[in-house]
Chain A
Amino acid sequence: MSHGLKLEAFGCRSVQEVNLLVAPGQVVGLTGPSGSGKSLFLRALADLDPHEGRMTLDGVAAETVPAHQWRRQVGLLPAESAWWFDIVGPHCDSWPLDALQYLGFSADVLGWPVSRLSSGERQRLSLLRLLARSPRILLLDEPTANLDPRNTDRVEQLLQRFKTKYQPGIVWVGHDMAQLKRCCDPIYVLRERRFLPWDARYQELLDPIGQVNA
């Protein structure tokens, strides 16, 4: 039995024949051109899309666990977060107040109407409500895409702290190579439905500011 999220001959709409282990405390980076299917891959890991092959968490196969319990263990942070109540508070049972403050919110944000939030605020709050459930695996789809450098830094620090404390396995999808190199090891590139280990040969994919070509 192996700990963490393990994929064997895994396939979904956007990848095929992927073998991967995301061990507890490990952060796997994933990049690739827009449209290569990174988000679809994360959806399949959260069992929101069908997959082929074998997917296990701590040795337990996905199909043997009720789907909603799987998704509590394998938490997906989508690029666009969804909000279904009028105000922020009810979206989470126990908001982590210290983490809220760390990301620059005061406690009265919980009474704010969702419609008042900026895209960056939504992104930070949706990360917090996911972390509050402390999933075993975190699937992060461009978690800092809408954030300014200061907040990006804060989110990276927060995730680092969360990782040290709870040892989750993390799959981090992003375009910013500098960030991926800072936070992730190993890093893969998704090209033509395959996972390729990142190496300097893919430097050609980078545009002048260090972003993987969108």
Chain B
Amino acid sequence: MNVVILTPVDLALAASLVVLVALLSYFMRLHLERQIMIAAARTTVQLLLVGLVLKALFSYVHLGWIVLVACIMLLAAGREVMGRQKRRFAGIWGFGLGAFSMFISSFSITILTLTVLIGPDPWYEPQYAVPLLGMLLGNTMNGIAIGLDRLTSSAWEQRTIIEGRLMMGAAWSQAIETLRRESIRGGLIPILNSMAAAGLVSLPGMMTGQILGGNPPMEAVKYQILIMFLIAGGTGLGTVAAVWLGARRLFDERQRLRLDRLKSH
């Protein structure tokens, strides 16, 4: 089975669809045409750059380069989590909380998968390591961003209830318990939904890509199942870690609710 190579003309034709939507936006006064064009341009430039980086990385396999790329991916994901918070923690915590939770979940699962499950040689073979880490980071990022956003905004809205429970002699963990549980649930629902709908409603992107790329469907399916489980594990661990740490950070050593540690932007 041969892969049909895409030409620039093919991509340009596809891009005309985006232009069509931008025109629609202009005539319907959706005020989105600027954003559409910028987003399309960003996709093109960013992916081309990544392509160049991956090409270089694949031809020059060295652990140091992989670590560097992994760190850049983590920093970008951390920024993204921070940007999605309506009320985020002030100072280093705003970035650090999300980045740390993604680090312990995504990195540990990626390394475990590479060394134990897939086992390429060397284990950091970039053809496996980079896409795996990318998919894990991208998905845990969603769970963590939703979980933290729920936690901080509901703590803000329900401050009288939290403090009411403290006044009745509850420990900080009791006072925030309900919010913590709801926030973790909120972070996990998307991955549960996509596991339940996989194959029936949506063909997951990675599998589609592999099939388009000429791989046998059953091989693509096995990889997709593996990825789904890894993502569920990573999102679960990452969201629980982020929400627990975030809930702890909402209280000080005297178990006072410290909403001044949040800032809205």
Give A contacts to B, CB under 8 Å. 46-50, 63, 66-69, 71-72, 75-76, 78, 80-84, 129-130, 133
Overall SS of chain A's interface: loop
Given A47-B254, A67-B255: A133 and B164 interface contact (C-beta under 8 Å): no
Does B18 have its Cβ within 8 Å of any Cβ on chain A?
no
Interface pair A133/B167, CB less than 8 Å apart = no
A4 to B256, CA, bound (A): 23
> Can you pick out 20 interface pairs between chain A and chain B where the beta carbons lie within 8 Å of each other?
A48-B166, A48-B167, A48-B256, A50-B254, A66-B255, A67-B254, A68-B170, A68-B255, A75-B168, A76-B167, A78-B163, A81-B164, A82-B160, A82-B164, A82-B165, A83-B164, A84-B161, A84-B178, A133-B168, A133-B169
Chain A residue contacts of B72, Cβ below 8 A: none
Which of A66, A72, A84 is close to B164, meaning CB atoms less than 8 Å apart? A84
Give B contacts to A, CB under 8 Å. 160-161, 163-172, 178, 254-257
Shortest CB distance A5–B (Å):
16
Given A78-B167, A82-B165, A84-B165: A67 and B160 interface contact (C-beta under 8 Å): no
A68 to B251, CA, bound (A): 12
Chain B residue contacts of A83, Cβ below 8 A: 161, 164
Chain A residue contacts of B170, Cβ below 8 A: 68
Which of B160, B168, B169 is close to A80, meaning CB atoms less than 8 Å apart? B160
Given A80-B160, A84-B161: A71 and B166 interface contact (C-beta under 8 Å): yes
Given A82-B161, A84-B178: A49 and B168 interface contact (C-beta under 8 Å): no
Shortest CB distance A149–B (Å):
28
Shortest CB distance B216–A (Å):
55
Given A68-B171, A130-B168, A133-B168: A82 and B163 interface contact (C-beta under 8 Å): yes
Shortest CB distance B183–A (Å):
16
Chain B residue contacts of A66, Cβ below 8 A: 171, 255
**Which 8 pairs show the lowest CB-CB distances between chains A and B?**
A82-B164, A72-B169, A67-B255, A68-B171, A67-B254, A82-B160, A82-B161, A76-B167
Given A68-B166, A84-B161: A50 and B171 interface contact (C-beta under 8 Å): no
Given A68-B255, A80-B160, A84-B161: A129 and B168 interface contact (C-beta under 8 Å): yes
A133 to B168, CA, bound (A): 8
Chain A residue contacts of B165, Cβ below 8 A: 82, 84
Chain A residue contacts of B164, Cβ below 8 A: 78, 81-84
Shortest CB distance A169–B (Å):
17
Chain A residue contacts of B172, Cβ below 8 A: 68
Shortest CB distance B69–A (Å):
45
Chain A residue contacts of B171, Cβ below 8 A: 66, 68
Chain B residue contacts of A81, Cβ below 8 A: 164
Shortest CB distance A156–B (Å):
22
Given A80-B160, A82-B160, A82-B161: A49 and B256 interface contact (C-beta under 8 Å): yes
A161 to B142, CA, bound (A): 56
A68 to B172, CA, bound (A): 8
- B164, B171, B254, most chain A CB atoms within 10 A: B254
Interface pair B167/A67, CB less than 8 Å apart = no
A204 to B232, CA, bound (A): 69
Measured CB to CB, the nearest residue on chain B to A139 is B167
A34 to B62, CA, bound (A): 69
Shortest CB distance B98–A (Å):
28
Interface pair B178/A48, CB less than 8 Å apart = no
Given contacts A48-B166, A68-B255, A82-B165, 17 further A-B contacts (CB under 8 A): A48-B163, A48-B256, A48-B257, A49-B256, A50-B256, A67-B254, A67-B255, A68-B172, A71-B167, A71-B168, A75-B169, A78-B163, A78-B164, A78-B167, A82-B164, A84-B164, A133-B168
